[in-house]
Chains A and B, each alone.
Chain A
Amino acid sequence: MSMTADTLRGNTDTIILTLLMRGDSYGYEINKSVQRRTKGEYGFKEATLYTAFKRLEQNGFIRSYWGEDGPGARRRYYSITEEGRRQWEENVRDWETTRSLLDALFDPDYDDEEG
Chain B
Amino acid sequence: MEAVRMRFIAEVSARFAAARDSEAKAELIEELADNLVLRYQEQLASGAGEDEAYAAALNGLGDVSELISYLNSVSAGQAASSDPLESLLNDLEDITQNVFFKAKTAIEDVKKRLREEESASCGAPRSRSGGRRESGRQASAERESLSPELPLSAKDLRGVDVRIVNGDVKLSFSESEDGNVLFSGNVEELELSRTADGVLLIRQGRTASSSSLFRLGLSSSDVELCLPRRDWEFVQVNTANGDVELDGRCPVGSVSVKTATGDICGELEACSELTLYTASGDVDWHGSAGTACVESASGDLSLDGRFEDLTVTTVSGDVDLTGSLGEAKCSTISGELALESLTLPRSLSASSKSGDCFLRLPGAPEQPFSVRVSTRSGDVSSAFPLRRAPGGFICGQGGPEYALSTVSGDVQIEKL
Q: Which of A45, A50, A72 contacts B28 (CB 8 A)?
A: A50
Which residues of B41-66 are within 8 A (CB) of A? 60-64, 66
Q: Which of B27, B31, B32, B36 has the most CB of A within 10 A?
A: B31
B55 to A: closest C-beta gap in Å = 15
Q: Which of B35, B67, B354 contacts A27 (CB 8 A)?
A: B35
Q: Which of A43, A50, A72, A76 contacts B67 (CB 8 A)?
A: A50
Task: List 19 A–B pairs whose Cβ atoms lie within 8 Å, in order of A's numbering.
Answer: A28-B34, A28-B38, A28-B39, A31-B35, A45-B60, A45-B61, A45-B63, A46-B62, A47-B62, A50-B28, A50-B32, A51-B66, A51-B67, A54-B70, A72-B354, A75-B31, A75-B34, A76-B27, A76-B31
- Interface size on B (CB < 8 Å)? 18
Q: Please state if A47 and B35 are interface contacts (CB–CB under 8 Å).
A: no
A78 to B: closest C-beta gap in Å = 11
Q: Provide the residues of chain A in CB contact with B34, threshold 8 Å.
A: 28, 75
Q: Which of A48, A54, A75, A76 contacts B62 (CB 8 A)?
A: A48
Q: Provide the residues of chain B in CB contact with A47, threshold 8 Å.
A: 61-64, 66-67
A10 to B: closest C-beta gap in Å = 15
Q: Roughly how many angstroms separate A46 CA and B56 CA in the complex, as a whole number?
A: 12
Q: Please state if B63 and A46 are interface contacts (CB–CB under 8 Å).
A: no
Q: Roughly how many angstroms separate A31 CA and B62 CA in the complex, as a whole number?
A: 14
A-side interface size class: 10 to 19
Q: Provide the residues of chain B in CB contact with A76, threshold 8 Å.
A: 27, 31
Closest to A72 in B: B354
Encode A23-61 as 1/0 by CB contact (under 8 A) with B.
000011001000000000001011110110010000000
Q: Roughly how many angstroms separate A50 CA and B36 CA in the complex, as a whole number?
A: 13
Q: Provide the residues of chain A in CB contact with B63, threshold 8 Å.
A: 45, 47
Which residues of B229-245 are within 8 A (CB) of A? none
Q: Roughly how many angstroms separate A50 CA and B19 CA in the complex, as a whole number?
A: 15
Q: Provide the residues of chain A in CB contact with B39, threshold 8 Å.
A: 28
The 10 closest A-B pairs by CB, nearest first: A45-B62, A47-B62, A51-B66, A28-B35, A47-B64, A28-B38, A54-B70, A46-B61, A27-B35, A46-B32
Interface residues in chain B, defined as those with a beta carbon under 8 Å from any beta carbon in chain A: 27-28, 31-32, 34-36, 38-39, 60-64, 66-67, 70, 354
Q: Provide the residues of chain B in CB contact with A46, threshold 8 Å.
A: 32, 35-36, 60-62
Q: Roughly how many angstroms separate A50 CA and B63 CA in the complex, as a whole number?
A: 11
Closest to B31 in A: A76
B17 to A: closest C-beta gap in Å = 15
B296 to A: closest C-beta gap in Å = 21
Encode A11-32 as 1/0 by CB contact (under 8 A) with B.
0000000000000000110010
A113 to B: closest C-beta gap in Å = 47
Which residues of A90-111 are within 8 A (CB) of B? none
Closest to A51 in B: B66
Q: Provide the residues of chain A in CB contact with B60, threshold 8 Å.
A: 43, 45-46
Q: Roughly how many angstroms separate A47 CA and B62 CA in the complex, as a whole number?
A: 5
Q: Roughly how many angstroms separate A27 CA and B38 CA in the complex, as a whole number?
A: 11
Closest to B62 in A: A45
Q: Provide the residues of chain A in CB contact with B354, threshold 8 Å.
A: 72
Q: Roughly how many angstroms separate A47 CA and B31 CA in the complex, as a whole number?
A: 11
Q: Roughly how many angstroms separate A46 CA and B16 CA in the complex, as a whole number?
A: 13
Q: Provide the residues of chain A in CB contact with B67, threshold 8 Å.
A: 47, 50-51, 54
- In addition to A46-B61, A54-B70, 8 A-B residue pairs with Cβ atoms within 8 Å of each other are A31-B35, A46-B32, A46-B62, A47-B61, A54-B67, A75-B34, A76-B27, A76-B31
Q: Provide the residues of chain A in CB contact with B35, threshold 8 Å.
A: 27-28, 31, 46
Q: Roughly how many angstroms separate A27 CA and B60 CA in the complex, as a whole number?
A: 13
Q: Provide the residues of chain B in CB contact with A51, threshold 8 Å.
A: 66-67, 70
Q: Roughly how many angstroms separate A51 CA and B63 CA in the complex, as a whole number?
A: 10
Q: Provide the residues of chain B in CB contact with A75, threshold 8 Å.
A: 31, 34
B36 to A: closest C-beta gap in Å = 7
Q: Roughly how many angstroms separate A51 CA and B28 CA in the complex, as a whole number?
A: 11
Q: Provide the residues of chain A in CB contact with B62, threshold 8 Å.
A: 45-48
Q: Roughly how many angstroms separate A62 CA and B255 CA in the complex, as a whole number?
A: 55
Q: Which of A31, A45, A54 has the most CB of B within 10 A?
A: A54
A8 to B: closest C-beta gap in Å = 14
Q: Provide the residues of chain B in CB contact with A31, threshold 8 Å.
A: 35
Q: Provide the residues of chain A in CB contact with B66, threshold 8 Å.
A: 47, 51
